[in-house]
Amino acid sequence: MNRINWGNKEVLVCGGAGFVGSHLATELVRLGAKVTVVDNLSSGSVQNILAIRDDIQFEDKDLRDYRVCRKLVNGKDCVFQLAANMGGIGYITAIGADIMRDSAVININMIDVARVHETPMYFYSSSACVYPDYLQKKTAVRPLREADAVPADPDQFYGWEKLFTEKLCEAYMQDYKMNIRMARFHNIFGPCYTAFDSLKGKAPAHMIIKAIKHPDPPYLIWGDGKQTRSFLYIDDCVQAILRLMDTDHKQAINIGSDRLISMKALADMAVKLSGKKGVKFQYDLSKPTGVRGRNADLTVMKEVLKWEPQVSLEIGMTMTYNWAVSHYDELEGL
C-alpha cells in the first residue's frame, strides 16, 4: 500500500488530548507531521500529551464555537475529528442530551469549516454504538457488518448522534465532494491517563485497576459478567486509521477486533496479570452494561486496508497493566 507522506503536513487533531487522539497525535509527530492538538480537556488531559508537548501546538479551545473551528482549520492539510462528549458505559447511559447536543454541534462546525477551507483530507471517528440493539441481544452475537447499521436502532443516544454524523459526512461528500474517511471504533483500549478515569474509562482499564487494588475494595463486575465485547489495542487502532486515510474507501468501516470475550473472562485476565490468588468476584446487576453482546465483522477492514490487528488481547492487556502499575500513583483519584 502506498502510504501518505505525513512529513511537514499541517494536521489538526481534534480531541487530541484524549485517548485515541493523543496516541494518533504522537504517531503523526513521529511521522514528521506538523501537528496541532485542540482539546477543551473535558474528557482529555494534558498528561496524555506531555511526551510530545514540545513537538505540537496545543490549543485549549471549545469546538462548539464556530469561530474557533474556522480559525483552527484554516491552512490544514488534514483534520482528524475525534472530539466528542463521551465516556464509558456508566457515563453514556446516564447522559443523553448533553452528549447529543455537544457532539452534534462540534461535528457540524468542524465539517462545515473544513468545507469552507477546502481541507484536502478529513477523518471522522464514529463508533460501534451505531449498531442496532436488536442485533445485540445475545452473548454469542453474530459479528456486526457495516451494512447492519440500517435499519437503525442504537441502544444509546450516543450511538444515534454518531450515526447522524456519519450521514452528515455522507451528505457533505455528495454535495461538496469532500474527501472524508469514517471509522467505527470497537472498544479501543491501552495505556492512557483518561482511559483510567473512574467515570469515563472503559472496561479493560476498570478491570485492571480493580485487580491492582483488590482486595480493598472487593472485585466488582457490572452485570452478570456474561456480556461480551471485542477489544482492539490502541497501537493497532492508530495504524488502521492511517491506513484508512490512504485508501479511497468512503463508507464507514469497522476498526476493531473480532475476538469475542466475556467481561468475566476479561476480569480473569486482569487478575491473572496481578498474580493474586483466590479472588472472588462480586456482581452488581443494577449497573448498566449496554448491549448483551457486540463483535466486529472485519471482512471490509481486511479487504480495504490489506491489514489486520497485530496485537493480541493478552499482549495488549499486559502492556496496559504494566503501564497502570508504573503510573498508579498518578491514576489514583481519577
Active site residues: 158
Q: DSSP character for 293?
A: B
Residues β-bridged to residue 262: 228
> Under DSSP, is residue 229 helix (H, G, I), strand (E, B) or coil?
strand
Q: Which residue has the cell 499541517?
A: 10
Q: DSSP character for 143?
A: P
Contact in structure between 334 and 206 (CB atoms under 8 Å): no
Q: DSSP of 85-133, one letter per residue?
A: S---HHHHHH--HHHHHHHHHHHHHHHHHHHHTT-SEEEEEEEGGGS-G
Q: Who's near 78: CB < 8 A, 6+ residues apart?
A: 9, 10, 11, 12, 119, 120, 121, 122, 123, 245
Q: DSSP character for 145?
A: P
Q: DSSP of 20-56, one letter per residue?
A: HHHHHHHHHHHTT-EEEEE--SSS--GGGGGGGGGGE
Q: Which H helix or E strand runs over 11?
A: strand 10-14
Distance CA 166, CA 130 (A): 9
Give the cell for residue 27: 504517531
